[in-house]
């Protein structure tokens, strides 16, 4: 593992939680550094939402602790957290700005500061419509942006977002990505968000936590995950060679092949150049190179 | 509790207060209360609801009949009964007035006629006057001096007394107690229901998870109960003020001091009753996610309040019946039943003290129970949460 320049702020330590006979969390531990964006991925029901709810104190863990800057989390600490729950929720009949100001004040932001910040966020997030309109009169996309504003309005030091990108159009995705980036880099907030859009996670996150069956299956930067998980895969495209040309190289196993393209997994000690030589002797090599597995592929490999 | 925590429940209370105040149903309930009170007070002012009786007596005949009628009116006046005397030219005119209802009875030579019947008080007043006039005529024939004649016909020969006199202004008090218990019932039920629907609104709109990431469930619950309760209190104060003002202005209430005392009593008992019921309403509301399901979970609370109300109204007739006494002491019904008995002056001090002790004690005991159920259930959306599960989850 690399050592991070940023200090750890949030620690989840051996969290366990059951719902009746269902084990939702079976000893989840990970840390989130200051100013970093951490992607939280896993299949449906893997325990993402439960872990996030416990981190925020909305739900109690059966066992384990959550620490913030080395201390147990109390009410005063939690007021510095921002949350966007999976189940979106706002008062439908309350006016947009009024609602944001109210939520900020619940977390201790003074009234005037809350109003200024709310209005600023509505502009930044490109919320279309009258800030004094009732929430229920906004389109779903706009409601989603207001929901995000509600998580950000008190300038939290920790942002926990449960599926913030679901339901957003591509422009919305870009706006939200930029806002999260800025929160991390400019305000030094630690950001944790869950998503099933793995390409987005790959692009946006400094680190990824992969959770499976209530346990952390993998945690690290994308590069680290690749290094620790990825197989030594090479893609070779040859024209005019016989099928199975690679079989003369010991330690080269085809993962898939067809239409002149073969994906070879090379065992330790197999020189890729040896593979290339064999390929060239069999036909015209059109393409040759190592394959970087996407997060999606790593994900499938881990949870398989 | 830190200063920040106190601020949180205050914010919740202020929001709930203003949100409910601006709701259409608040306006409707205020207008409805004002309308009901107006009807009751005005009906009483016109004598329709057991107030001091008032009679219109028609007269046909000569000066003798008119003298009898005026004497009856004077007697009526001495007994705080209002009586108007209306002379008619002909018997036909008088009969028409009787049929039309503008007079209660018609006095003609040697006869007192009514429509369907005549009020016993009216008969007694006119009979006495007629008898006195007849006796006076005999005295006059025998040249009895004027002073003796007057002395003989004036004073009642008997001093009237009772062994167990009812408290003064019993009628007044019963009317005040009735209006009071009606208001209390509406406020306790209506504002309790508002607590329950407020909880459900936050649950069904899912904002409760946002709120609970910022503040503790108990602060949210306390703020909601306080905000809605203070609004209920303000409305009760306004309505009580209106009722006393209207009652005094129209003469429906003869002694404003009693009414003000009764209003203060009702307000005090509203606070206690609301404290008792509100956390139950909140707990019930937290068990369900949709408003339509609310009815299923609040039936037991509804029934309790309704039965308490019915017993309380019944105790207006007999405030010392066993059921009235028991209901005024049991915490589930005391907030409605005890103020009625207190306004009627029927509750001894020890019963009031016992009732207060039990109600305050059980309200204090219920708050953490209600709060725990609320905490255990409020984040569970979807199907109705079982009480046992809610209790265990917290």
Question: Which stretches of chain B are assigned E, i.e. beta strand?
Answer: 54-59, 82-87, 105-108, 111-114
User: Could you give the count of Cα atoms lying within 13 Å of B61 in the half-sphere of its Cβ?
Assistant: 16
CA distance A227 to chain B (A): 37
**Which chain B residue has the Cα nearest residue A59?**
B379
DSSP A53: H
Q: What pLDDT, in 10s, does the model give residues A223-268? A: 888 777 667 888 899 888 888 888 888 888 888 888 888 888 888 8
B216 lies within 8 A of chain A by CB: yes
How does pLDDT run across A23-75, given as a tens digit for each residue? 999 999 999 999 999 999 998 888 999 999 999 988 889 999 999 999 998 88
Cβ-Cβ contacts under 8 Å for A45 (sequence gap 6 or more): none
Write the pLDDT tens digit of every residue in A71-118: 998 888 889 999 998 888 899 989 999 999 999 999 999 999 999 999
Give the count of beta carbons closer than 10 Å to the beta carbon of residue B232. 25
Give CA–CA dist A48/A24, Å, rounded. 9
Yes or no, beta carbons of B206 and A87 under 8 Å apart: yes
**C-alpha distances in Å from residue B285, one per residue of A93, A163, A261, B10, B191:** 19, 29, 63, 21, 13
d(CA B285, CA B289): 8
Question: What was the pLDDT predicted at A5?
Answer: 65
Token reading at B266: 């009702």
* Rounded Cα distance, B236 and B216, in Å: 30
Contacts of B209 in chain A (CB under 8 A): 53, 58, 83, 85, 87, 89
What whole-number distance in Å separates Cα of residue A164 and Cα of residue A178? 13
Q: Where are the beta strands (DSSP E) in A74-232?
A: 81-84, 158-162, 190-194, 207-212, 215-220
pLDDT at A1 over 50: no
User: Are residues A91 and B207 in contact, defined by beta-carbon separation less than 8 angstroms?
Assistant: yes
Question: Which residue reads 């009020």 in tokens?
Answer: B119
Residue segments in chain B with a per-residue pLDDT below the cut of 70: 1-6, 47-53, 152-162, 164-171, 255, 382, 394
Pick the closest to residue A62 from A261, A246, A214, A251 (CA basis): A214
Range 349-388 of B in CB contact (< 8 A) with A = 379, 381
DSSP H or E stretch at residue B184: helix B170-204
What is the distance between the alpha carbons of residues B64 and A202, in angstroms, rounded to a whole number?
113
Is the distance from CB of A180 to CB of A159 less than 8 angstroms? yes
Q: Does B21 touch chain A (CB under 8 A)?
A: no
**Residues of B with Cβ-Cβ distance to A54 under 8 angstroms:** none
Q: Confidence class of residue A2 from pLDDT cuts 50, 70 and 90?
A: very low
Q: How many CB pairs under 8 A join A and B?
A: 62
The per-residue pLDDT for B166 is 59
Span B347-378, pLDDT tens digits: 899 999 999 999 999 998 988 888 888 888 88
pLDDT in tens, B147-190: 777 776 665 666 666 676 655 566 677 888 888 899 899 999 99
**How many Å apart are CA A93 and CA B201, to the nearest integer?**
11
* B292 secondary structure, DSSP code: G
Q: Hunting for tokens 């937290």 — which residue is that?
A: B286
The residues, any chain, with a CB within 8 Å of residue B183's CB and separated by 6 or more, are B33, B37, B236, B239, B240, B266
Cα–Cα distance, A251 to A229 (Å, whole number): 19
**Cα-flanking dihedrals φ and ψ of residue A199, to 5°?**
-60, -35
Helix (H) or strand (E) holding A22: strand A22-33
Question: Which burial class, exposed, middle or buried, applies to B39 when counting CB atoms under 10 A from its CB (0-12, 13-18, 19+)?
Answer: exposed
> What confidence score (pLDDT) does residue B89 get?
87
């Amino acid at each position: 593992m690399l050592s991070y320049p940023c200090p750890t702020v949030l620690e989840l330590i051996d969290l366990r939680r059951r719902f009746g006979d269902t084990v939702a969390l079976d000893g989840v531990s990970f840390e989130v550094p200051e100013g970093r964006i951490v992607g939280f991925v896993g299949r449906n029901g893997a325990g993402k939402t439960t872990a996030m709810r416990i981190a925020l104190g909305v739900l109690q863990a059966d066992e384990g602790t959550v620490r913030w800057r080395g201390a147990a989390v109390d009410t005063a600490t939690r007021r510095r957290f921002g949350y966007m729950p999976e189940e979106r929720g706002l008062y439908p009949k309350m006016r947009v700005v009024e609602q944001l100001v109210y939520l900020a004040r619940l977390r201790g932001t003074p009234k005037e500061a809350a109003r200024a910040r709310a209005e600023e966020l509505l502009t930044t997030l490109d919320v279309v419509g009258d800030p004094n309109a009732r929430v229920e009169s906004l389109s779903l996309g706009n409601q989603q942006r207001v929901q995000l504003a509600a998580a950000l309005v008190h300038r939290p030091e920790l942002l926990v977002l449960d599926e913030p990108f679901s339901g957003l159009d591509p422009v919305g995705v870009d706006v939200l990505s930029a806002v999260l980036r800025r929160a991390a880099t400019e305000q030094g907030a630690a950001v944790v968000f869950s998503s099933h859009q793995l390409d987005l996670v790959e692009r946006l996150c400094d680190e990824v936590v992969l959770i499976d069956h209530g346990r952390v299956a993998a945690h690290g930067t994308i590069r680290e995950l690749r290094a620790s998980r990825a197989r030594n895969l090479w893609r070779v495209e040859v024209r005019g060679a016989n099928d199975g040309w690679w079989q003369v190289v010991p330690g080269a196993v085809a993962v898939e092949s067809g239409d002149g393209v073969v994906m070879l997994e090379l065992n330790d000690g197999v020189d890729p150049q040896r593979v290339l030589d064999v390929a060239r002797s069999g036909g015209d090599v059109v393409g040759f190179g190592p394959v970087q597995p996407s997060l999606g592929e790593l994900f499938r490999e881990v949870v398989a | 509790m830190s200063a920040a925590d106190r601020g949180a429940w205050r914010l919740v209370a202020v929001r709930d207060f203003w949100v409910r105040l601006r709701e259409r149903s608040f306006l409707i309930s205020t207008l409805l209360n004002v309308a009901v009170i107006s009807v009751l007070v005005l009906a009483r002012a016109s004598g329709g609801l057991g107030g001091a009786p008032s009679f219109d007596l028609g007269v046909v005949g000569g000066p003798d009949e008119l003298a009898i009628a005026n004497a009856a009116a004077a007697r009526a006046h001495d007994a705080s009964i209002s009586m108007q005397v209306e002379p008619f030219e002909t018997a036909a005119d008088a009969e028409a007035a009787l049929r039309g209802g503008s007079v209660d009875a018609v006095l003609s030579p040697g006869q007192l006629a009514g429509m369907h019947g005549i009020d016993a008080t009216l008969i007694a007043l006119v009979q006495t006057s007629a008898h006195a006039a007849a006796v006076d005529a005999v005295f006059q024939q025998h040249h009895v001096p004027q002073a003796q004649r007057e002395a003989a016909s004036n004073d009642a020969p008997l001093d009237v007394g009772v062994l167990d006199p009812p408290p003064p202004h019993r009628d007044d008090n019963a009317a005040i107690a009735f209006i009071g218990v009606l208001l209390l019932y509406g406020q306790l039920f209506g504002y309790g229901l508002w607590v329950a629907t407020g909880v459900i609104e936050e649950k069904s709109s899912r904002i409760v998870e946002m709120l609970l990431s910022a503040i503790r469930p108990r602060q949210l619950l306390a703020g909601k109960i306080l905000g809605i309760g203070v609004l209920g209190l303000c409305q009760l104060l306004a309505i009580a003020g209106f009722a006393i003002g209207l009652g005094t202005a129209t003469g429906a209430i003869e002694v404003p001091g009693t009414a003000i005392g009764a209003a203060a009593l009702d307000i005090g008992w509203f606070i206690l009753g609301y404290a008792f019921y509100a956390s139950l309403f909140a707990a019930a509301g937290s068990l369900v996610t949709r408003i339509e399901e609310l009815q299923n979970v609040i039936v037991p609370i509804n029934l309790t309040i309704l039965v308490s109300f019915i017993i309380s109204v019944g105790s207006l007739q007999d405030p010392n019946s066993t059921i009235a006494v028991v209901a005024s002491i049991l915490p589930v019904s005391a907030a409605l039943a005890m103020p009625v008995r207190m306004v009627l002056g029927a509750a001894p001090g020890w019963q009031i003290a016992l009732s207060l002790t039990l109600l305050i004690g059980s309200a204090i005991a219920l708050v953490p129970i209600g709060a725990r159920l609320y905490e255990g259930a409020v984040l569970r959306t979807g199907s109705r949460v079982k009480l046992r599960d809610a209790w265990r989850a917290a």
